[in-house]
């Protein structure tokens, strides 16, 4: 068996830079598109969400690497994605405004046992989905819910009778600030 090392490893700097630029463009596009599609997509993945992610990744793969199918081209695309992720994380951690723009803010869906229809519409979440989240948090009736909050990560947090369900510390701090402003 003979390997074609030239096809396997492409060291043409112009091609590799083109792959990095293409990957950056696709990454930014997907960030914007997924952000505009709503936080619902970022919560728990359903079968349909998983299929969407797989099809999206396949659809954009050629846009990132172009005709280059070398190992080097794939590594450059992967490194570019990882570097972009690290860069955006660093900038986001230093800029609350950028973090809000990229991540969004929590949205109150239920307040004192009542749905907030305009918030449900804006976030494209049905009452049935909120009711399911309430059941998952051990809440049997909407009237028992003091607040249900759509978090920036797409999950729904539930607060009942002054007790909140167990969530990560960062989400809890955000929720407290949110409830102080809106509760």
Tell me if the domain spanning 105-182 has CATH number 1.10.1740.10: no
Cα separation values, 75 from 4, 9, 61, 123, 166, Å: 18, 10, 13, 37, 40
- Which segments of 38-138 does DSSP mark as H helices, in order? 47-65, 71-94, 96-103, 117-123, 127-136
CA-to-CA distance for 164 and 44, rounded, in angstroms? 20
What secondary structure letter does DSSP report for 4? -
Q: Domain residue spans in the chain?
A: 5-102, 105-182
Res 162: pLDDT: 60
129 half-sphere exposure, CB direction, 13 A CA radius: 17
Per-residue pLDDT reduced to its tens digit, 10-40? 888 999 999 999 999 999 998 888 777 765 5
Q: What is the CA radius of gyration of the chain?
A: 21
- Exposed, middle or buried, 68 (CB in 10 Å: 0-12/13-18/19+)? buried
* CA dihedral for 118, 122, 126, 131, sign (positive or negative): negative
Residue 163 host element (H or E)? strand 163-164
Its pTM stands at 0.64
First to last CA, the chain: 70
Contacts of 10 (CB under 8 A, 6+ apart): 16, 68, 70, 72, 73
Contact assessment for residue 111 and residue 149, using Cβ atoms and an 8 Å cutoff: no
CA-to-CA distance for 51 and 86, rounded, in angstroms? 26
pLDDT in tens, the chain (183 residues): 788 887 788 888 999 999 999 999 999 998 888 777 765 545 556 677 777 788 888 888 888 888 888 889 889 999 999 999 999 889 988 998 888 887 888 999 999 999 999 999 998 889 998 999 999 899 989 999 999 999 887 889 999 876 665 444 444 545 555 555 555
């Amino acid at each position: 068996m003979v390997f074609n090392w030239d096809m396997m490893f492409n060291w043409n700097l112009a091609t590799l830079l083109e792959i990095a630029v293409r990957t950056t463009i696709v990454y930014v596009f997907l960030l914007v598109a997924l952000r505009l599609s709503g936080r619902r997509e970022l919560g728990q993945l359903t079968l349909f969400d998983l299929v969407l992610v797989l099809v999206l990744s396949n659809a954009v793969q050629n846009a990132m690497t172009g005709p280059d199918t070398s190992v080097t081209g794939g590594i450059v695309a992967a490194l570019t994605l990882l570097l972009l992720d690290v860069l955006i994380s660093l900038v986001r951690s230093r800029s609350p405004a950028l973090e809000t723009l990229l991540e969004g803010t929590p949205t109150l869906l239920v307040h004192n046992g009542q749905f907030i229809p305009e918030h449900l519409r804006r976030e494209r979440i049905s009452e049935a989905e909120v009711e399911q989240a309430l059941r998952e948090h051990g809440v049997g009736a909407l009237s028992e819910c003091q607040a249900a909050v759509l978090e920036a990560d797409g999950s729904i947090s539930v607060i009942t009778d002054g007790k909140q369900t167990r969530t990560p510390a960062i989400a809890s701090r955000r929720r407290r600030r949110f409830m102080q402003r809106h509760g």
